[in-house]
């Protein structure tokens, strides 16, 4: 007589082709039923349209068919629940972090705000560019899992990360910045990632542990708004050299940025300084500067936080145009280049 | 001989003055040590500066001192870790949801974007105001736990929610909108709420279950950016009548808003329409409209999502000024009043 235990044991020998973990360990096998010489079981897939689906099913089926007394095998397919997917991802994660052992990353700088839409991704992108222009080797990790903006700014057509024996390879921008973002991995750029916190943390840790960044002088990390899971994970799991805070002229933004600053202090990460974005716009008609969000509060905010004001960026429609076209690297910003020199000087003194 | 068990039992009889749960149940008692006739234990506080601290300590001390053989009691105070605080909050939560039974809320409308900084809170606030002007009874639930903006927009000085036998009372704005936000509960408005997802979900559920909203025609829910815990909890735990999506003219924002739309569809909530914020600014110098974020994409985005375009709001420095001064209710927006009439008509037809 065949037992459920024997079937399970056979399936424990079947490895997931992409992860070196068995289907059983990954929680991909459910409802094993044995009825005389017939065996039925369900294979759970993280996503129904996984391209390696057929490969997995045929391997699992073969393993069970090879058992002596088995005459017939019926395999059902089902999609994982959010919870099962979480288990799948974390079981995968335990595997390795192989890439991380080969990475040599000198400085990790997080760009944070607490507030959404003040231009964190823009500052992160422009800083990466400015450091690149200074001759440094630069990577850009998009830690905004549910609202990733980086790929759209850097790539006009969708590029995909490739696998290597060392781990996932980041996608290189036109100017040679190494970029990793959840949006490079999604089937469509506007697919929603409806994940609760633990999955978000796991994804960020994978971007650190399993991406083969190679040798970098700077890894810039673009944080999402808020002081919840993503920010916590970055501060707890990545060796931050410093944090740059981004604000806008609104007092409202200032308040939320102070929350972020409090978190940074609480977590013991060094604050490098404040950047105010959207400080003013230039009227294309009359050429006058307009304070569309009211007068700048950058000096006061920086003083209140006790950190240097690194610079102020204007609200320039050209930025929107270039960002929307994936051509942010063409934007030249003296302000940002000044900031890159400050950062370069500061962090190199220490490093 | 006194035993640890006896001490614990005595402390099980000590109720937290604000929650009707015992200190032991709430995880507030740690490290009970008995040494002959001396008892030592630690009282854990969710926040060190809790005003009821002394009350709790003296009650706990008295309960143990009342045990027959006890001669001396030493009480130490410590602040809870994030994990202990999570237990504390969820133990508290089990208690009731009493308020919810007394609330009569006709329509719950969520304002969402996915993208940060496009003006969700502004749209939520102006919509609440416009509905109020139409004569409806309106509440405003700020579901942005780590970056709450609503109180600053509505109150020039900090107001505190009061307790009632039915539950927490929301704070009323000048024009009579009932507001609840985590920032009304924090010691300082710029205190960071460094919470992972589960705690954020619990807080939002409490704003629904334990706040005595009373009779409302509309409860407007201001969601944070992203498609993670807060948005999931609102869509899973609140009976949404509909969702309004907010975007800005940037294509980048459009992409993230499409992610949000996908989530709404996935969760089966009805979409009421799209509002584009910051569509243009008026130059105070020459009076010309300027497209600071590039040309509007509202019509295309709404068409792509298959939902009506409800309206477009300008980028008006007066909004920033009024928001920063807690005087948003003074702002009059024809666009928003039009939207309120559409919403009022639509939802009343159904209701």
Measured between beta carbons, the chain B residues lying within 8 angstroms of A117 are: 115-118, 225, 248, 253
Domain topology for B101-350: Rossmann fold (3.40.50)
For residue B32, what are the contacts with CB-CB under 8 A and spacing of at least 6? B4, B7, B8, B11, B39, B40, B41
Residue pLDDT, tens place only, A297-324? 899 999 999 999 999 999 988 998 999 9
- The domain A99-350 is placed in CATH, from the list 3.40.50.300, 1.10.340.30, 1.10.1060.10, 1.10.760.10, at 3.40.50.300
Kindly report the pTM of this predicted structure. 0.73
For residue A344, what are the contacts with CB-CB under 8 A and spacing of at least 6? A131, A134, A136
What is the overall mean pLDDT for chain A? 90
Least confident of B31-45, B92-106, B295-309, B314-328: B92-106
User: Smallest CA–CA separation between B167 and chain A, in Å?
Assistant: 27
User: Smallest CA–CA separation between A28 and chain B, in Å?
Assistant: 24
Q: What is the pLDDT of residue B132?
A: 96
Closest CA to A312 of A255, A246, A265: A246
Residue B213: phi, psi to the nearest 5? -75, -25
Taking CA A46 as the corner, what is the angle to CA A219 and CA A25, rounded to the nearest 5 degrees? 90
Q: How far apart are CA B167 and CA B213, in angstroms?
A: 9
Q: What is the pLDDT of residue B351?
A: 38
Measured between beta carbons, the chain A residues lying within 8 angstroms of B293 are: 317, 320
pLDDT-above-70 percentage for chain A: 94
Q: What is the pLDDT of residue A348?
A: 55
Q: What is the pLDDT of residue A221?
A: 98
Least confident of A48-62, A153-167, B256-270: A48-62
CB distance B255 to B177 below 8 Å: no
User: Smallest CA–CA separation between B283 and chain A, in Å?
Assistant: 6
A61 exposed, middle or buried (CB, 10 Å; 0-12, 13-18, 19+)?
middle
Whether residues B292 and A286 touch (CB distance < 8 A) is answered with no
CB distance A315 to A321 below 8 Å: no
Q: What is the pLDDT of residue A54?
A: 85
Q: What is the ipTM of this complex?
A: 0.70
Whether the per-residue pLDDT at A93 is higher than 70: the answer is no
Q: How far apart are CA A16 and CA A57, in angstroms?
A: 10
* DSSP 8-state class, residue A296: -
Measured between beta carbons, the chain A residues lying within 8 angstroms of B148 are: 256
The mean per-residue pLDDT over the stretch B39-62 comes to 86
Q: What is the pLDDT of residue A351?
A: 38
For residue A143, what are the contacts with CB-CB under 8 A and spacing of at least 6? A110, A204, A207, A221, A222, A223, A224, A230, A233, A234
Q: How far apart are CA A161 and CA A177, in angstroms?
A: 13
Whether the per-residue pLDDT at B193 is higher than 60: the answer is yes
Q: How far apart are CA B257 and CA B263, in angstroms?
A: 10
Q: How far apart are CA B196 and CA A199, in angstroms?
A: 11
User: Which carries the bigger pLDDT value, residue A171 or residue B250?
Assistant: A171
Choose among B148, B228, B255: nearest Cβ to A197.
B228
- CB-based contact (8 Å) between B196 and chain A? yes
pLDDT band at A11 (very low <50, low <70, confident <90, very high): very high
Residue pLDDT, tens place only, A105-116? 999 999 999 899
Whether the per-residue pLDDT at A95 is higher than 80: the answer is no
Whether the per-residue pLDDT at A350 is higher than 50: the answer is no
Mutate which of B324, B326, B328, B331 to disrupt the A interface (most A C-beta within 10 Å)?
B324
Q: What is the pLDDT of residue B180?
A: 97
> Same topology for domains B4-94 and B101-350, yes or no?
no
Residue pLDDT, tens place only, B128-168? 999 999 999 999 999 999 999 999 999 998 889 998 888 89
Closest CA to B242 of B347, B320, B332, B172: B347
Mutate which of B320, B322, B331 to disrupt the A interface (most A C-beta within 10 Å)?
B320
Residues 146 through 185 of chain B touching chain A, CB cutoff 8 Å:
146-149, 152-153
Mutate which of B86, B125, B147 to disrupt the A interface (most A C-beta within 10 Å)?
B147
User: Smallest CA–CA separation between A200 and chain B, in Å?
Assistant: 8
Closest CA to A305 of A253, A238, A245: A245
Q: What is the pLDDT of residue B155?
A: 95
- The domain A4-94 is placed in CATH, from the list 3.30.420.480, 3.40.50.970, 3.30.300.130, 3.40.50.2000, at 3.30.300.130
Would you list the domain boundaries of chain B?
4-94, 101-350
Rounded (10°) CA dihedral B123, B124, B127, B128: -150
B204 exposed, middle or buried (CB, 10 Å; 0-12, 13-18, 19+)?
buried
Whether residues A114 and B192 touch (CB distance < 8 A) is answered with yes
Q: What is the pLDDT of residue A53?
A: 83
User: Smallest CA–CA separation between B176 and chain A, in Å?
Assistant: 22
Residue pLDDT, tens place only, B115-130? 998 999 999 999 999 9
Provide the 10 A C-beta neighbour count for residue B111: 26
Length of chain B: 351
Whether the per-residue pLDDT at B283 is higher than 90: the answer is no
User: Smallest CA–CA separation between B289 and chain A, in Å?
Assistant: 9
A11 exposed, middle or buried (CB, 10 Å; 0-12, 13-18, 19+)?
buried
Mutate which of B192, B222, B288 to disrupt the A interface (most A C-beta within 10 Å)?
B192
Q: What is the pLDDT of residue B347?
A: 60
Residues 225 through 254 of chain A touching chain B, CB cutoff 8 Å:
225-229, 231-232, 248-253
Length of chain A: 351
Which tokens sit at B111?
């304002």
């Amino acid at each position: 007589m065949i037992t459920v235990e024997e079937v399970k044991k056979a399936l424990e020998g079947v490895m997931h082709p992409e992860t070196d973990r068995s289907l059983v360990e990954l929680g991909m096998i459910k409802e094993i039923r044995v009825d005389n010489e017939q065996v039925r079981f369900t294979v759970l897939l993280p996503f129904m349209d996984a391209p390696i689906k057929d490969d997995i099913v045929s391997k699992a089926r073969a393993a069970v068919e090879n058992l002596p007394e088995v005459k017939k095998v019926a395999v059902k397919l089902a999609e994982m629940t959010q919870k099962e997917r979480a288990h799948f991802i974390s079981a995968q994660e335990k595997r390795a972090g192989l890439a991380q052992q080969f990475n040599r990353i000198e400085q990790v700088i997080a760009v944070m705000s607490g507030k959404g839409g003040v231009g964190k991704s823009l500052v992160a992108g422009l800083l990466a560019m400015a450091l690149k222009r200074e001759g440094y080797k630069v990577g850009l990790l998009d830690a905004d899992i549910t609202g990733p903006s980086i790929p759209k700014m850097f790539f006009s057509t969708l590029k995909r990360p490739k696998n290597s024996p060392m781990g996932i390879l980041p996608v290189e921008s036109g100017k040679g910045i190494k970029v990793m973002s959840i949006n490079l991995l999604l089937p469509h750029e506007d697919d929603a990632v409806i994940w609760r916190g633990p999955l978000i943390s796991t994804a960020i840790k994978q971007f650190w542990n399993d991406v083969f960044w190679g040798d970098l002088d700077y890894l810039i990390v673009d944080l999402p708004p808020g002081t919840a899971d993503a920010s916590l994970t970055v501060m707890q799991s990545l060796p931050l050299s410093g944090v740059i805070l981004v604000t806008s002229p609104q007092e409202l933004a200032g308040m939320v940025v102070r929350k972020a600053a409090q978190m940074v202090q609480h977590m013991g990460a060094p604050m490098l300084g404040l950047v105010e974005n959207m400080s003013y716009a230039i009227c294309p008609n009359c050429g006058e500067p307009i304070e569309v969000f009211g007068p700048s509060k950058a000096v006061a905010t920086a003083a209140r936080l006790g950190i240097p004001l690194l610079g102020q960026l204007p609200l320039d429609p050209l930025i929107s145009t270039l960002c929307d076209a994936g051509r942010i690297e063409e934007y030249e910003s003296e302000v940002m280049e000044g900031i890159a020199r400050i950062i370069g000087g500061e962090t190199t003194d220490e490093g």
